[in-house]
Structure formats: structure tokens, C-alpha cells
A and B are shown apart, each in its own frame.
Chain A
Amino acid sequence: MAIFKRPALKTQSRKKREMPQGLWQKCPGCSEVVHEIELAQNQRVCPRCDYHFAQSAKERIENLLDPESFVERDADLRSVDTLQFQGMATYKDRLLKYQNLTGLTDAVLSGHGMIEGYKVAIAVMDFSFLAATMGSVVGERITRTIEYGTANRCAIVIVSASGGARMYEGMLSLMQMAKTSGALARHACERLPYISVLTNPTTAGVMASFASLGDVIIAEPKSMIGFAGPRVIKETTHQDLPEGFQTAEFLEEHGLIDAIVHRKKMRAQISQFLSYFSSTS
């Protein structure tokens, strides 16, 4: 079982910070220029307008869990090109490209750890790896995380982000929806809590399976959340999309999620839920 600890993580993110390119970014929220260090020190939230920049799975785990508590599991699972997908680039090429680009082995990091003393099974998706599409490895890691929670009688936290199914794995990709949801059915039967956290963007197959099945479902502000892509909806219906369509705020307004939680309050909020649901009195 692979373990990585906080110091290792810090080294990694510091390395990133020293990269000469992309030190300054224009904030999509306020159009101000923000320095990389400022973002890194602020959980990648714009200090001026609270815009939530994309955050890596490693950073999220570092921010959510108690120090040194994360134990990664199933790190040795690797996607395979079962269908021998060709197209303009092969699946194998793409996997390799994103493994090199992100330092990740696939689009989710999973394992267990503690949040303010509560033990949790946790899986965090990372959009930078092939748009966090769900293939067999993502589905298997999520399922094993859920099963770990069931076996060890602990809560599950899944931080979702996804562009949907991983087309390159054909129907095996779609079937991960059934597999993960089935595992959640068993976890729920044991009356154990599952906190689903939606980040920007969470869509399609992931949204239509485990991401929508939390006992509580919370989202980061302004996250794009939905089933179908806005372009597809526009092309199909020839309708103008309502203001703020498929944002976390839109979903909250329509009664589809429990709450919108600022990234810097996420850990405290999850911990509060855990204390509510873990209480036996």
C-alpha cells in the first residue's frame, strides 16, 4: 500500500511553484492578475474575488485531512487499452501523456485518513487527468474506497470532478456507474455516512452515479454541475439557457444540493457533518 505524507506533498507543490512559466494568472472571476504563490497559499482561491481555481487532488487531500493521516490505497491500479482504441491518438498515448503531465496514475486519488479525528475513506478526483473521466481504474478505486468504508464502518468522502465517461473504455466505462452506485447501496444499508463534494466541473456519468448519492451533497461556489453539456442542450433544444444554468448556485436554487461551501470552510463543514452522523445518541 502506498503512503504519502505531508512533507512529500509540500516538496512536490513547491517544485511546481518554482516553475518559471505561469507564475501570474489572470483570474477568471475578477480579471485581476494573481501570483501563483498567492494562490498556493490561499488554497487556490482568488484573494480578491473568491474565485475557486482548479485544485489538484493532492492539494485537496492535504487541505481536507488531518496532517500525516492520509494513507493512499490502490495506487498500483493502471488503466489498460482493452478496446485498442485508435482515433487521432491512441488511448495508450493519452494515458502516458497525462501520467507524465500530472504525475498521477489516473484521475482519482483514494485511500483513508482522518478529518478532525473522524476516520474517513476518501477519494478525490483530479480534473487535470483526462478531464477526470471515469474508466475502470477510477471506478475500481472509488468502489474500493466505498467498500473500505463499509468494511471498516467509517464515513466516505468523495470529492468529485469529471467530464463524464471515459469513451476509450467503451461500455466498461459506463458500467462503473452501476458498480460504484451498487457499492454505495451496501454502505448505506450499514447506516454509514457519505459526504459528496462537487467541484468544478462535475458532469455526466459521475454526476449521474455516486456524486448524486451523498447523504449530503455540497458544492464549491460557481462549480459547473450537470448531466448534459450546455452545448449539447443548446443544439438539441434550440433554447437559450437560463442565466447561471448548471452552476452550483443554480442547483441550490432548484433544491438539488444541500449547500454551497467555500473551499476554505470545506474541512470544517465536512467535520461538522461527520460529528452529526457519527453520533450514536
Chain B
Amino acid sequence: MDSQPLDFEKPILELQRRLQDLKNHSNEHELDFDSEVEAMENKIRETRREIYEHLTAWQRVQLARHIQRPFALDYIARCFTEWVELHGDRVFGDDKAMPSGLAKLGSHRCVVITHQKGRDTKENVKRNFGCAHPEGYRKALRLMRLAEKFGMPVISLIDTPGAFPGIGSEERHISEAIAVNLREMMNLRVPSIAVVIGEGGSGGALGIGVADRVLILENAYYSVISPEACSAILWKDRRHAPEAAEALKLTAQDLIGLGVVDEIVPEPEGGAHRDHDLATANLGTALRQNLERLIAQPIGELMQKRYEKFRKLGKFTEGDIAPEGAPLQETIHSREQTSDKSA
């Protein structure tokens, strides 16, 4: 077990403590507890499986935020080669919450755009907890243009609680920076992959998240609002965050169902933080497979599919008899014919 267990992992921790006691006891008294040790080890394995196979949405949010989880630069170091960071939006500054640049994925030259969090106070001050300012999104746009000019695919690694809510952010127009990215990513004439590697916090995540393929790590989450903020609004109390997390349908599994993400990248048992090698290898494999498939397709086709994928997101009823919760896009008929059904 690691140094930073989460609350729901305590039963495993307790069993591991008992196992250690048993081993110590066996050593001290030179007694044979082998069968007891084996039984305990089995119990630990079962308990782990039981816990990790039935993670609640809120538990996954905690895993997604785990301080030991691989961050964007960890993936860059392990999945990519020849990384060169490119700084600045050429207008105002360099957003350290979004280190971005050039890197090779196998033999493919790529532009990589990321959100980066810090593990300690010093790093978090530098990275602003992964909360980007307008400069970050404008740097991302500048690099997307670069990618387009030189025919390189764009890969975004998303890991942010959200765009930074601050005075400077507003003065330099964070809304516009995100909005322009949404429009331009839809029109980008190179293949693109976005991966939610940890936290996918609302507009700040989406601001680099419009792509041909949207991937999400098994325990990452992607949400319109943080469970805490949702709880504060709906229950007038932040303590209902676990219920809010459930209700928001923010887990990888939920999002596949909604069509918001295309693919889930598996994590090591217990979360990506337990085995950086395996976690980064999994993402590397997923990125390479997706990239190969994308570059095999004409860009015009990719752009059309990209548009259609986002175009069809949304659930509503339409027409005279709209049964509750029915799937609706399919029921769309010519709007010209369904006349005079005004409100």
C-alpha cells in the first residue's frame, strides 16, 4: 500500500497491517504461519477486487484527484519522445498551468497540449493547481495553428478542476479564449485526440477537448460542475458531494453511455497512481492505436465525423407525442411538416 490511502481503501490497509503483524510474529517466534499468511493474502486480494470493482462516482473523483496520480508531464516523459516545450501566447504571458509543445508519439510528430497540476505547494503555485488563464487557451490555439501548418496531429491531455476564476482571467477574456478554441478545434484540419487523464473540469476542460477522438482514463471524471459546487447549489450544503457526483453522471462509464467520450483507457487496479509504468503504457497504446486509425482517413471525412459527433449530443423530445425519456434525435422528422404545435 502507498503512503496516501483514500478513506475507502482503509479496509485494505487494515488487512495489510494485520498481515504484517502475522509475519512479524512468525519471524520473532520462529513459528510457521504460512497457511495463515496465505489466507490473509487471499483476503486482501478479494477485498481489493471487491472495493475497486465497485467504485462509486465519488470514489472515482477522489482517485482522479489523487496527488500521486500521473500528471500530464509524467505521460509526456513516458509515452512520448523528443519533447520540446513551447512557451507563451505571444501576447501576454506563458501559462504554466498548460505546458504544451512538440513531441513524438512513436514515429509521429505531434503537438501536445496539456493541463498540469502540482504535487506540492511550490509546484502548485507555479501550475496554479492546473487552473489555466486565457493565456493557456491562447497558447493552445497558437500551437494548434502550428500543427495545422505542418500537418501534425494534436493531442490534448486534460487535467483541470476548471479555468481559473480570477480578475485577470476576466479582464483578458477567458470566455472568448475558450469559445474561440471550441470553434477552431471543430475546424482544425489535422487529426486530434483529447484525453481526460484526471479531472475534466467543465469549460476549462472542454476548451482543449473538441477532438476526433475523446478518450478518458478509467477513473478520471468529466463534469459540467464540481460535485462540491453542485451539492452547494442543489442541497445548499457541500456535504452532499457524493450524491451530486452520482447524479452528475461524470464517470468514464456514464460518459460512454451519453456519447460524450469515445473510449475508456484502463488503469491499473486501484488507480493510475499505483503503477505509473502500467498507466502510462496503457495510455501510450491507446494513443498510438487511435492515431494510426485517424491518420489513415482523409481529413475532410474526419472533420465531418467530428462535427456530427458533437452535433448529435443532447437529449430532448420533439413532435406531438413525446414519450418521457425517449431517445429523440431519431424521431426528428421534417420540421416543416409538424406545424402549428406552438407553445
A interface with B by C-beta (< 8 Å): 1-4, 72-88, 103-105, 135-137, 139-140, 143, 165, 167, 169-179, 181-186, 188-189, 204-205, 207-213, 226-229, 232-233, 236-237, 239, 241-242, 245-246, 254, 256
Contacts and interface: CB of A to CB of B under 8 A. Distances in A.
B61 interface: no
A24 B311 CA distance: 45
A237 B225 CA distance: 19
Contact of B236 (A84, A88, A232): A88
A76 B338 contact: yes
Given A165-B202, A185-B186, A205-B203, A2 B314 contact: no
B339 A170 contact: no
A179 B175 contact: no
A208 B174 contact: yes
Contacts of B167: 233, 237, 239, 241-242, 245
Contact of B313 (A81, A137, A175, A212): A175
B164 to A, nearest CB: 8
Interface stretch (B66-74, B98-106, B319-327): B319-327
Given A86-B243, A213-B183, 9 more contacts: A77-B317, A80-B324, A165-B224, A212-B175, A227-B165, A228-B163, A237-B166, A239-B166, A254-B171
Interface in B321-343: 322, 324-326, 328, 335-336, 338-343
Nearest to B224: A174
Contacts of A227: 163, 165, 169-170, 174-175, 178, 203
B33 to A, nearest CB: 50
A217 to B, nearest CB: 9
Residue with the highest number of chain A CB atoms closer than 10 Å, among B224, B255, B260, B338: B224
12 contacts: A3-B342, A86-B243, A139-B314, A179-B310, A181-B182, A182-B310, A185-B186, A186-B307, A209-B179, A212-B179, A228-B169, A229-B165
A2 B170 contact: no
Nearest to A231: B165
Given A171-B223, A178-B210, A179-B314, A76 B320 contact: yes
Given A227-B163, A256-B176, A140 B235 contact: no
B187 interface: yes
A212 B180 contact: yes
A211 B10 CA distance: 48
B197 interface: no
Interface residues of B, number: 69
A171 B259 CA distance: 10
Residue with the highest number of chain B CB atoms closer than 10 Å, among A172, A188, A256: A172
A228 B171 CA distance: 12
Given A179-B311, A204-B203, A185 B187 contact: yes
A224 B163 CA distance: 19
Interface of B: 163-167, 169-176, 178-180, 182-184, 186-187, 202-203, 206-207, 209-210, 222-225, 230, 233-236, 243-244, 247-250, 255, 258, 260, 307, 310-311, 313-320, 322, 324-326, 328, 335-336, 338-343
B323 to A, nearest CB: 9
Contacts of A211: 175, 179
Contacts of A245: 167, 170
A212 B178 CA distance: 9
B269 to A, nearest CB: 26
Nearest to A186: B307
Residue with the highest number of chain A CB atoms closer than 10 Å, among B248, B310, B318: B310
Contacts of A3: 339-340, 342
Contact of B247 (A83, A174, A228): A83
Contacts of A78: 316-318, 322
B246 to A, nearest CB: 9
B81 to A, nearest CB: 31
A113 to B, nearest CB: 15
A30 to B, nearest CB: 28
Contacts of A172: 258, 260, 313-315
Contacts of A237: 165-167
Contacts of B315: 80, 82, 136, 169, 172
A264 B106 CA distance: 61
A167 B230 contact: yes
A78 B323 CA distance: 11
A173 B310 contact: no
B155 to A, nearest CB: 18
Contact of B314 (A176, A207, A210): A176
Given A170-B248, A212-B179, A233-B167, A75 B206 contact: no
